[in-house]
Structure 1
Amino acid sequence: MNSDQNKPSADENSRLMGNANRKELLAWALYDFANSGYTTVVQTTIFSTYFVGVIAGAAQGVAPGLSTLLWSLAIGVANFIVMIGGPLIGAIADQRACKKRFLLISSVGCIASTALLALVGPGDIGLGMVLVTVSAIMFAGGENLIAAFLPEIVPEENMGRMSGYGWSLGYFGGLLTLGICLAYIIWAKQHGLPETHVVPVTLLITAAIFALAATPTFLWLHERAIPVALNRSLSNLQIGYARLAHTFKEAARFRDLLWFLVTLGVYQSGVSTVVVLAAIYAQEVMGFDTQSLIVLIMVVNVTAAVGAFICGHLQDRMGSVPTLAITLLIWIVAVMVALFASKTAHMWIAGNIIGLAMGASQAVGRALVSKFSPTERAGEFLGLWGLVNRLSAIVGPLSYGLINYWSNGDHRMSLLSTLSFFIVGLALLCKVNESRGKAAALMGDAG
């Protein structure tokens, strides 16, 4: 047999080297555009406040602070499940080269469960928690999988920029979804429609936009990974866990990656808290109504897109670690402004500072993990990135929810825990050596 038959063709070599064309890069970034409507409408703005104020509100006999805790628990359970399963899914996707198939499954699941949330009304606390949990699981799974494509489509020196483009486009996706929802809410108010009618329609709008905007991803984005020869005596679970076990055995080779994951887990706990509870804070403490909240989040999305775009270029010039340190300082300032806010104008200032910091910190985090990951194990290591994100999405919001419940609904006291995450995260970041981490990833590729 001719040995050349086992060698990749020129076209395969081109694809494996990450020579993606503009259409394919756009397809990758459009997924961030597509799924951002879910986070802004369901987790951040409309449905989160609807759940706390209406579905599990005081009119339903729920004790002060308990509705916020129940919301935090639903998000926490979802992220716990993803935390356990994310690295496993990433390992199997790498082994079998099926990231795109798993991405489709998670996307359909998130879209369907978001649409089903339209059926949840006042008092349907259990159904609401279940559907929010399912939708959050599917969303997070898709987020991990789309990130795993990044090292396949761009070279290492452009990862920061491409990640920034994705986050920027994502914030504009959230902005578009919120804008359409706001237009409908204004129209519905003019026609005297109740909130119990308006909110379900916004959820259907969100699901439809997700489905339409994600379609180019599945049409144009290519799976570049090559399946590894399988041991037919092992199941997918055994293969996945065996590969994960091997990853952890080699942890010493990637110490900067692992230390950064610890750092990310701490500061991302603060970010996750802001994402799922900021609108509730603005509603309960500052008296914002739904329309004002949507306008605020729309403005925040613009500043977040600007922050992600600038940060993508900045980190390629001065390095990811220094850039991230700057963004964490901005986070600390933003949370302190919100903590001491006494007027709605103060909340607007805090929101815009939060937007700049959020877009920047999330773009840097994804790019830095990609830089620290050997190319052929990107899905697996970005699964670890997803694991840490999910752990932070449990610790952050749950700590806020528990403090809020124990303090009988004192949101300012709860916000102190959020501030501490950013301060500690900044201190831990000082031990991350970016050059050494990138060198370890290159050694992993060579090995």
Structure 2
Amino acid sequence: MNSDQNSQTIGRANRKELLAWALYDFANSGYTTVVQTTIFSAYFVGVVAGAEQGIAPGLSTLLWSLAIGIANFIVMISGPLIGAVADHRACKKLFLLISSIGCIFSTALLALAGPGDIGLAMVLVTFSAIMFASGENLIAAFLPEIVPEESMGKMSGYGWSLGYFGGLLTLGICLAYITWAKQHGLSATHFVPVTLLITAAIFALAAAPTFLWLRERATPSALNESLSNLQISYARLAHTFKEAARFRDLLRFLITLGVYQSGVSTVVVLSAVYAQEVMGFDTQSLIVLVMVVNVTAAIGAFICGHLQDRIGSVPSLAITLIIWIIAVIAALLADKPALMWLAGNMIGLAMGASQSVGRALVGKFSPTERAGEFLGLWGLVNRLSAIVGPLSYGLINYWSNGNHRLSLLSTLSFFIIGLFLLFQVNERRGKAAAMLNNEG
């Protein structure tokens, strides 16, 4: 398909279809906020694998990190392959449906995990995280098809912003139920499972418009019946890496992304544990904090979506990394809940911005007809960072007998190193390389 045909294809996305794409971010955000960030992560560390189960200090945090790490390792390997097959067979939407159903059902099944059910909880968390991350890669691969390059930053920002409001809605409903449950004398072993069912239901309902309205624009490549999908995937990926010199700024940015995203991933899956174990936040306080943080994250994603289309993605990202550094230092120094609230909201502002600009920049550096494959690499790097960041935190926490402040120092280093690496990325040259490939 030539560049003119690509432009015509991209231009056919109407407002309803763009909304359908963005609504998927709204739908799946409840999973990250409830399962990975707030309620279930703290519940796992404090109840499922808590001290009452005879677990050594720091081990429950390490087990949680391992479950997330295993999931992300699997997606790191499978993500680019799935993206390549989806491009070759033009079946991104089908794969997205399968991953969504898997995440929804495994999230609901987590309601069965109670005190001492460590193995069951780890298996279900691992599987649900695999399904979630696979869907995240696939929905991102639609972006170059539905908007032109100059609008990717804005559209990515809309998606992230709407996603944070989805997380906010899910948490708000969960908070209302938890408040009611506590008023009636019910414990966490009762109300946490219900919040997981609420999360699964919202995911299913909010994702429905995506599958009703979003179209698969890609067309299948010519089939070679002598090759399996796996062989085709490896062949396409091998070709991608052989052409690495042509996309050197994409590769440089992927390395940069891998470093700073290790810090982001750590905050996502362990911030509630830190607030609970270090600052003494209870479940209700955690939910209220994360709800407010979701608002600032939505604002950050929205502002950065517009800002990067004006001043460029690299300068916008540099600003957000500086905010990240200040926010983590504030969390390290916090000795009162008020300081943790300040740090949390700075983290929210930076998180929304950095995640929005990262996805958009990879989209800008990706040739249109290979968007699924290159955004699969984006997913690979995200998954690698989601292994390195949380696992480093968990290991340091275990070796230090539960010293969370020492563990957070490793998180700070990821943002500082990422900021220095970012200055090696030339945005204009990266975009030119992608356009040259399209014209070819």
Residue equivalent to 1:334 = 327
Q: Which amino acid aligns with 2:379?
A: G
Query: Which 10-residue stretch deviates more, 256-265 or 191-200?
Result: 191-200
Count, aligned residues: 439
2:424 to 414, 425, 431: 431
- 1:35 and 2:28 equivalent? yes
Residue equivalent to 2:389 = 396
User: For residues 157-176 of structure 1, what are the structure 2 equivalents within 5 Å?
Assistant: 157-176=150-169
Once the two structures are TM-superposed, the CA of residue 14 in structure 1 deviates from its matched residue by 7.3
Relative distance call for 1:417 and 1:308 in structure 2 (3 A) is same
- 1:23 and 2:28 equivalent? no
- 1:382 and 2:353 equivalent? no
- 1:249 and 2:242 equivalent? yes
Residue equivalent to 1:3 = none
Once the two structures are TM-superposed, the CA of residue 13 in structure 1 deviates from its matched residue by 7.1
Tell me if structure 2 keeps the 8 A contact 1:18–1:151. Answer: no
Once the two structures are TM-superposed, the CA of residue 193 in structure 1 deviates from its matched residue by 1.1
User: For residues 63-78 of structure 1, what are the structure 2 equivalents within 5 Å?
Assistant: 63-78=56-71
Tell me if structure 2 keeps the 8 A contact 1:117–1:200. Answer: yes
For 2:6 and 2:149, the matched residues in 1 are separated by: 17
For 1:14 and 1:26, the matched residues in 2 are separated by: 20
1:275 to 268, 274, 278: 268
For 1:328 and 1:59, the matched residues in 2 are separated by: 39
For 1:145 and 1:341, the matched residues in 2 are separated by: 38
For 2:195 and 2:11, the matched residues in 1 are separated by: 38
Tell me if structure 2 keeps the 8 A contact 1:115–1:204. Answer: yes
For 1:145 and 1:13, the matched residues in 2 are separated by: 19
- 1:228 and 2:251 equivalent? no
Residue equivalent to 2:189 = 196
Once the two structures are TM-superposed, the CA of residue 16 in structure 1 deviates from its matched residue by 1.7
Relative distance call for 1:317 and 1:13 in structure 2 (3 A) is closer
- 1:52 and 2:45 equivalent? yes
1:186 to 179, 184, 193: 179
Partner of 1:110: helix, strand, or coil? helix
Once the two structures are TM-superposed, the CA of residue 17 in structure 1 deviates from its matched residue by 2.9
Partner of 1:158: helix, strand, or coil? helix
Q: Which amino acid aligns with 2:22?
A: A
For 1:195 and 1:66, the matched residues in 2 are separated by: 21
Q: Which amino acid aligns with 1:298?
A: M
Relative distance call for 1:214 and 1:203 in structure 2 (3 A) is same
After superposition, give the CA deviation of every residue in 1:89-127 in whole Å (9 maximum; x if it has no partner). Answer: 000000000000000000000000000000000000000
Once the two structures are TM-superposed, the CA of residue 155 in structure 1 deviates from its matched residue by 0.3
- Identical aligned pairs, as a percentage? 85
After superposition, give the CA deviation of every residue in 1:145-172 in whole Å (9 maximum; x if it has no partner). Answer: 0000000000000000000000000000
For 1:15 and 1:101, the matched residues in 2 are separated by: 24
After superposition, give the CA deviation of every residue in 1:62-91 in whole Å (9 maximum; x if it has no partner). Answer: 000000000000000000000000000000
For 1:137 and 1:443, the matched residues in 2 are separated by: 34
Residue equivalent to 1:409 = 402
Query: Which 10-residue stretch deviates more, 187-196 or 141-150?
Result: 187-196
For 1:15 and 1:260, the matched residues in 2 are separated by: 29
Partner of 2:290: helix, strand, or coil? helix
- 1:151 and 2:144 equivalent? yes
Once the two structures are TM-superposed, the CA of residue 238 in structure 1 deviates from its matched residue by 0.4
Residue equivalent to 2:125 = 132
Normalising to structure 1: TM-score of the pair? 0.97
For 1:135 and 1:193, the matched residues in 2 are separated by: 27
Once the two structures are TM-superposed, the CA of residue 15 in structure 1 deviates from its matched residue by 5.8
Q: Unaligned 5+ residue runs, structure 1?
A: 1-6
Tell me if structure 1 keeps the 8 A contact 2:7–2:148. Answer: no
2:209 to 209, 216, 230: 216
Once the two structures are TM-superposed, the CA of residue 444 in structure 1 deviates from its matched residue by 1.1
Consecutive aligned runs of 4 or more in structure 1 exceeding 4 Å deviation: 12-15
After superposition, give the CA deviation of every residue in 1:171-229 in whole Å (9 maximum; x if it has no partner). Answer: 00000000000000000011111110100000000000000000000000000111100
For 1:90 and 1:304, the matched residues in 2 are separated by: 28
Residue equivalent to 2:83 = 90
Tell me if structure 1 keeps the 8 A contact 2:10–2:144. Answer: no
Once the two structures are TM-superposed, the CA of residue 129 in structure 1 deviates from its matched residue by 0.2
Tell me if structure 2 keeps the 8 A contact 1:270–1:422. Answer: yes
Normalising to structure 2: TM-score of the pair? 0.99
Tell me if structure 1 keeps the 8 A contact 2:6–2:368. Answer: no
Q: Which amino acid aligns with 1:175?
A: L
After superposition, give the CA deviation of every residue in 1:350-399 in whole Å (9 maximum; x if it has no partner). Answer: 00000000000000000000000000000000000000000000000000
Tell me if structure 2 keeps the 8 A contact 1:31–1:146. Answer: yes
For 2:280 and 2:40, the matched residues in 1 are separated by: 17
Residue equivalent to 2:113 = 120
Q: Which amino acid aligns with 1:370?
A: G
Tell me if structure 2 keeps the 8 A contact 1:300–1:351. Answer: yes
For 1:351 and 1:443, the matched residues in 2 are separated by: 42
